[in-house]
C-alpha cells in the first residue's frame, strides 16, 4: 500500500485539571494528530507530544519539524505490505520516537480499517476489557490530595498512582495508604531522585505499593540496577525503556521488576509488542502507561493493553478524566469493575469528530503523493 495523503495538525485541548509531576506542570494538551489516506480509507494517529521537552527530549515543535522534513517523506516513499514495515522505514532517524509513533499508529489504523480487523486483534490482544487506574498529579496539600483521590475512587477507579518528588513523597503516600488500606497504590518520581536517596526511597516499602516508577535518571538503567536490591518494592522503568534493546538491558541487569509500556515513548506499536513479548519471556509483567492522550491515542493504548502480559492496571482513564470535549464521538467510559472495554471495530475504532477537531486545530500541514 502507498500512502496518498498525510495531514498533520497541531491541536490544543485544555485539561480538565492541570497536571503536575516532579518536573513539569501543563494545563493544555499539545498533541499532533495524524490523518492518513490510501485506497479510499482514512485513518488516524496521535503523537502525544507535550508543550515542553521535560519528560523526554521531544516537544510539539520538534515533532512537527521531524515529521514534515523526514518521516512523512519516508512513509510516502514506502510501499507497505504490513504496518510492521514502518519502524524500519524510519530507522535512519535517530530517537524522535513520539514523532514516529503518531505516523506508525495511523498506519496500523489504516491497515485495520482497510482489512476490517480491529487493532487489538492485529496486535495479538487476548482480553475484551483492560484494567485501568488514575494517575494523580502533585497537589497543593495533603487535604486536597485526599479529596482528589477520594473523588476518583468514588468514580470507580480502584488503582491510584501518585506523583512524588522530594518533599512530596513519604507523607502523601502515607496519607493515601492510611485512608484507603486496600486500594492498589503506586508512585511515580519521573526521574527526580539519585542513588544517594536510596534510604528515603526504601521508606516507601512500608506502604505495600505495586511499584515505584522511574525514581532515577531518565536514561539511567545502570543505577536502577544498583537501587533495586535496596528496595523491596519493585522498580518500574518508564522513561529509560525507549526500545526493545533497552528493555533487554534492563531485564538482564535486574534493574526493575516491572516495565511501563507507552507506544509513543518506544516509537510505535510494533516495538511495543516486542518489548511486551520480551518481558513475558523473561517472566516480567508489564503495564500500560499514559501521556494524557486524546481519544485517538487512547484507543491505541486500550488495544495494546489487551495483550496478555499487561498484568497491572494501566494509566488509561476514561476520556472525561482528561477533556471536557474530546475529539472523538465514541469516548471510553469506565466500567463498574475499573476497566475499559476494548474496541472491536476495524482499526482503532475511533470516530473522529471533525468539527471539534477543526475547533482545536492551531496549525495544519499536508502532503500529497
Ligand atoms: O493518565 O495518561 C495519563 C497520565 C499518566 O502519569 C501519567 N503520565 O510520567 O507517566 C508519566 C505521565 C506523563 C504525562 C508523561 C504526560 C509524559 C507526558
User: Is the CB of residue 58 below 6 angstroms from any atom belonging to ligand 1?
Assistant: no
What are the residues whose beta carbons fall under 8 Å from the beta carbon of 36, sequence distance 6 or more?
3, 5, 6, 7, 42, 43, 44, 45, 103, 106, 107, 109, 110
- Reading the chain (369 residues) residue by residue, the pLDDT tens digits are 999 999 999 999 999 999 999 999 999 999 999 999 999 999 999 999 999 999 999 999 999 999 999 999 999 999 999 999 999 999 999 999 999 999 999 999 999 999 999 999 999 999 999 999 999 999 999 999 999 999 999 999 999 999 999 999 999 999 999 999 999 999 999 999 999 999 999 999 999 999 999 999 999 999 999 999 999 999 999 999 999 999 999 999 999 999 999 999 999 999 999 999 999 999 999 999 999 999 999 999 999 999 999 999 999 999 999 999 999 999 999 999 999 999 999 999 999 999 999 999 999 999 999
Which ligand 1 atom sits nearest the alpha carbon of residue 262? 10
The set of cell numbers assigned to 281 is 519471556
Residues, the chain: 369
Nearest CA to ligand 1 atom 15: 291
The CATH number of the domain covering residues in 5-116+353-368: 3.30.390.10
Is the overall model pTM greater than 0.85, yes or no? yes
State the CATH class of domain 121-341.
alpha beta
Rounded distance from Cα 52 to ligand 1 centre (Å): 13
With a 6 A CB cut-off, is 338 part of the ligand 1 pocket? no
Angle separating helix axes 269-281 and 244-252, nearest 10 degrees? 20
Give the closest residue (by CA) to ligand 1 atom 6: 135
Closest ligand 1 atom, CA of 48?
Answer: 18
Residue 163 Cα: closest atom of ligand 1: 6
Given the CA of residue 293, which atom of ligand 1 is nearest to it? 2
The whole-number pLDDT of residue 118 equals 98
Give catalytic residues, as residue numbers.
163, 262
| pLDDT tens per residue, range 152-178 | 999 999 999 999 999 999 999 999 999
Give distance in angstroms: CA of 48 to centre of ligand 1: 10
Query: Is any ligand 1 atom within 6 A of the Cβ of residue 20?
Result: no
By most ligand atoms within 8 Å of CB, the mutation choice from 135, 189, 294, 316 for ligand 1 is 135
Domain coordinates of the chain in residue numbers?
5-116+353-368, 121-341
Amino acid at each position: 500500500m502507498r500512502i496518498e495523503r498525510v495531514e498533520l495538525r497541531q491541536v490544543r485541548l485544555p485539561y480538565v485539571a492541570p497536571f503536575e509531576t516532579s518536573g513539569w506542570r501543563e494545563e493544555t494538551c499539545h498533541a499532533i494528530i495524524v490523518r492518513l489516506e490510501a485506497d479510499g480509507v482514512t485513518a488516524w494517529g496521535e503523537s502525544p507530544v507535550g508543550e515542553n521537552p521535560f519528560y523526554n527530549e521531544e516537544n510539539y515543535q520538534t515533532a512537527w519539524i521531524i515529521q514534515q522534513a523526514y518521516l512523512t517523506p519516508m512513509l510516502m516513499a514506502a510501499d507497505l505490505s504490513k504496518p510492521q514495515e514502518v519502524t524500519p522505514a524510519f530507522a535512519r532517524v535517530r530517537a524522535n520516537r513520539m514523532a514516529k509513533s503518531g505516523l506508525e499508529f495511523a498506519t496500523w489504523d489504516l491497515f485495520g480499517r482497510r482489512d476490517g480487523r480491529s487493532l487489538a486483534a492485529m496486535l495479538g490482544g487476548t482480553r475484551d476489557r483492560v484494567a485501568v487506574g488514575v494517575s494523580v498529579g502533585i497537589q497543593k496539600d495533603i487535604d486536597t490530595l485526599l479529596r482528589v483521590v477520594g473523588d476518583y475512587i468514588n468514580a470507580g477507579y480502584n488503582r491510584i498512582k501518585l506523583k512524588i518528588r522530594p518533599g512530596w513523597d513519604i507523607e502523601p503516600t502515607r496519607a493515601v495508604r492510611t485512608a484507603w488500606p486496600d486500594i492498589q497504590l503506586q508512585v511515580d518520581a519521573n526521574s527526580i531522585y539519585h542513588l544517594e536517596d536510596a534510604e528515603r526511597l526504601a521508606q516507601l516499602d512500608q506502604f505495600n505499593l505495586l511499584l515505584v516508577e522511574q525514581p532515577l535518571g531518565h536514561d539511567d538503567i545502570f543505577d536502577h540496577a544498583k537501587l533495586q536490591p535496596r528496595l523491596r518494592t519493585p522498580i518500574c522503568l518508564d522513561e529509560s525503556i525507549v526500545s526493545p534493546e533497552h528493555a533487554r538491558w534492563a531485564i538482564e541487569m535486574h534493574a526493575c521488576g516491572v516495565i511501563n509500556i507507552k507506544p509513543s515513548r518506544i516509537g510505535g506499536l510494533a516495538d511495543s509488542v516486542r518489548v511486551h513479548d520480551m518481558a513475558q519471556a523473561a517472566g516480567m509483567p508489564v503495564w500500560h502507561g499514559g501521556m494524557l492522550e486524546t481519544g485517538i491515542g487512547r484507543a491505541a493504548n486500550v488495544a495494546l493493553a489487551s495483550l496478555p502480559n499487561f498484568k497491572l492496571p494501566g494509566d488509561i482513564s476514561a476520556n472525561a478524566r482528561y477533556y471536557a470535549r474530546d475529539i472523538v464521538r465514541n469516548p471510553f467510559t469506565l466500567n463498574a469493575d475499573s476497566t475499559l472495554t476494548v474496541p472491536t471495530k476495524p482499526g482503532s475504532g475511533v470516530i473522529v469528530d471533525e468539527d471539534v477537531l477543526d475547533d482545536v486545530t492551531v496549525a495544519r500541514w499536508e502532503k500529497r503523493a
